[in-house]
Amino acid sequence: MMEISSLKTAATMSFDPRLLDGVLVCTKSKSRLIRDGEFLVCSDSDCRMRFEIKDGIPNMLLEEASLLSPEDWTSLMQRLDPQNSSNGQ
């Protein structure tokens, strides 16, 4: 919990949306997150958590994140990140 609250504090103080792709990782699987509008979606097919971005600040609390169905996750990944799904990089 300490980790999460310090992340939220840092994000509130100086949040740059451009950092979203490189810095934040899924709080459950530590996988890369992919931005989908007002959401961040975990790139791990076994995890599939989706975190909401509220007022420009990602809410990384697992209990407030939603779990995507495999179907929804797959179509999101194909739409948002076609390169990742083809070469696993």
Contact residues for Zn ion (CB under 5 A)?
26, 28-29, 31, 42, 44, 47, 49
| Closest CB 20 distance from Zn ion, rounded Å | 15
Query: 84's torsion region: left (phi>0), alpha (psi -120 to 50) or beta?
Result: alpha
| Closest CB 13 distance from Zn ion, rounded Å | 25
Q: Which of 19, 56, 22 is nearest to 37 (CA)?
A: 56
Nearer to Zn ion, 20 or 47 (CB): 47
Nearer to Zn ion, 29 or 85 (CB): 29
Q: Let me know: does 57 contact 11? Beta carbons within 8 Å.
A: yes
Nearer to Zn ion, 8 or 31 (CB): 31
Q: How far apart are CA 81 and CA 8, in angstroms?
A: 26
Task: Count the neighbouring beta carbons within 10 Å of the beta carbon of residue 18.
Answer: 7
Nearer to Zn ion, 29 or 84 (CB): 29
| Closest CB 41 distance from Zn ion, rounded Å | 9
